[in-house]
Chain A
Amino acid sequence: MTSRTEILDALSGVRDPELDEPITNLDFVSELEVEDGAACVRLRLPTYFCAPNFAYLMVADAKAAILSVPGIERASVALDDHYASAEINVGVNDEHGFDGAFPDETESPDLEELRTVFRRKSFVARQEHLCRELLAADHTASDLAGMTLDEVPASAAFETYLERRAELGLDVSDGAPLVVDPDGKRVPEEAVVQHLRFARTVRVSIEGNAELCRGLLATRYGIPEREETTA
């Protein structure tokens, strides 16, 4: 029988596209029931008016993640307490797609374009996180500029960076340069410091936003606040 742990593990692969964090870490999963190959999950968000586009992506991704677990044949995912709960839940569970759920309110075929914008941003942020660790380990900016992927020591930050790099379709082979822009172009040595300065702002923005969302979720549902972390 499929366990809750397996489903939660699958759900931990679903990230808020904007915050680049697993929905399980963000406390967005409020309920999970598994019975006879059917899984039922409830999601919640920090506010009634959280962007419905991102909400839709998370509900759809959660459903796909649950269905990928061996032994699960049916999955239903419901978003609670949101102004567009009804449209999103019906749209995802009946597979109408985002446009089908909001027939007169969207302007382009689907949400992939928006998802890509945020994948690129989080790519930049993850790269900055990794480079910051390398700089702290006594590498210089000019070392980083010349480094190829096979020269980077193994770490959690490196792993998540490679993951996103692959998702964007960029070169992840051993000889590929470490510091590249979201199009995969190598950043020249003289531009690395400035590149990382920009990247840091992107990371502060994403992480600051995640903190704001955590605070709002905690006040909304009376969740005890955890200690503030910083990188």
Chain B
Amino acid sequence: MYEKDGEKYFVVDGHVHFWDASPENWIEGQEQYAKGWIECFYGYHQLGPEEYYWPMEKYQKYSEETMMKDLFEDGYVDRAIFLPTYLRSWYKNGFNTIEQDAVLAEKYPDKFILNGRFDPRDGDEGLRQFEQDHEKYGFKGIKLYTAEWHNGSKGWSLKDPEATRYLEKCEELGVTNIHVHKGPTIWPLNKDAFDVKDVDDAATSFPNLNFIVEHVGLPRIEDFCFMATQEPNVYAGLSVVLGALMHSRPRFFARVMGELLFWVGEDKMIWASDYAIWHPRWQVEMFVDWDYPEGHEFDDFPRLSTEGKKKILGLNAARLYAIEVPPELRLPEAATDAQSVEPTVS
């Protein structure tokens, strides 16, 4: 919870990692990729304020204590959502698997929400595995990487018939929050891997599922915006948007926020720190203080009120994940309407 000028903000961090990119976890022969990956993340890390920089050694692998303190003691976070990132071809135990996340999620059930993953190219076996994982962990959401390589395949699409089976399974199991990574990526080489058209199709076919587009399709925000404006169940995942731009490029951050507020709207934007790429503390503080900079170029963008900031920092995600928000942290109308926030199940 963050409090400023008498206003209280319930904070849900929509995208966090507990990764291991230490040299001990690099696969022999793949070291340059494993090293290159974490160095690439480290470049993004340095777009935040300097006083939050970590040394590389800590950045490669951080402890449970560090994470708990950064998020929940210093970072104002009430609830954090784990999104797994496998990368098993470079990291022996994976970069950030469900199992790694589950250790913390099970130890601190009132702090973390554990999300699952699947890859439709795993066919029947993958579907069974997903069901087993769900039985074990009780997912409410999943993270998908459509551009990931797999057994000679150079990526997949949410429109694929195989993917449809998996999404039907999500609907059946009540795994309603589908986070799709549409942002900076590597493969497939000659394709535009940021293309969000498949999300458009899936969102139409599955109106009961929510599609959270992580990194808002960066660097193709326009395609994402034009699509999201037509699909009521598509949300903007703001990881990277705040972290990479708010501190280092404030004027462009304002333009990007203005566009998102115009096309997508404050009810469908979800903040995330992308920890440990960036610390949540400065993001929460700076965002609560944020307004458009001086200049007429921002005149016709929608304004963002305190209420809008409360939604983006936590209340929107709380709604999608049925997280119970203490009455004093709800919006005035919501506080009187018990129906609007479902009690938490897990």
Contacts and interface: CB of A to CB of B under 8 A. Distances in A.
B189 interface: yes
A106 B190 contact: yes
A229 B37 CA distance: 30
Given A102-B189, A201-B221, A201-B263, A207 B32 contact: no
B69 interface: no
A114 B191 contact: yes
Most chain B CB atoms below 10 A, which of A111, A216, A220: A216
Contacts of B250: 228
A190 interface: no
What is the size category of the interface that chain B forms with chain A?
A: 35 or more
Interface in B20-40: 32-33, 36-37, 39-40
Interface in B202-261: 218-222, 225-226, 244-245, 248-252, 255-256, 258-259
B interface SS class: helix
B109 interface: no
Contact of A47 (B43, B191, B249): B43
Interface string A195-215: 000101110111111011001
Interface in A105-119: 105-108, 110-111, 114, 117
A142 to B, nearest CB: 18
Interface in A87-108: 98, 102, 105-108
Given A198-B226, A216-B47, A211 B245 contact: yes
A105 B188 CA distance: 7
B278 to A, nearest CB: 13
Contacts of A202: 222
Listed residue (A102, A202, A209, A212) with the most chain B CB atoms within 10 angstroms of its CB: A212
22 contacts: A18-B219, A102-B189, A105-B190, A107-B154, A108-B190, A114-B191, A200-B259, A201-B259, A204-B252, A205-B221, A206-B219, A208-B245, A208-B252, A211-B245, A215-B47, A215-B249, A219-B47, A228-B249, A228-B251, A230-B251, A230-B252, A231-B297
Given A105-B187, A105-B190, A215-B47, 14 more contacts: A18-B219, A49-B40, A49-B184, A51-B193, A110-B190, A111-B190, A121-B222, A198-B222, A207-B252, A208-B249, A209-B218, A212-B219, A216-B43, A230-B255
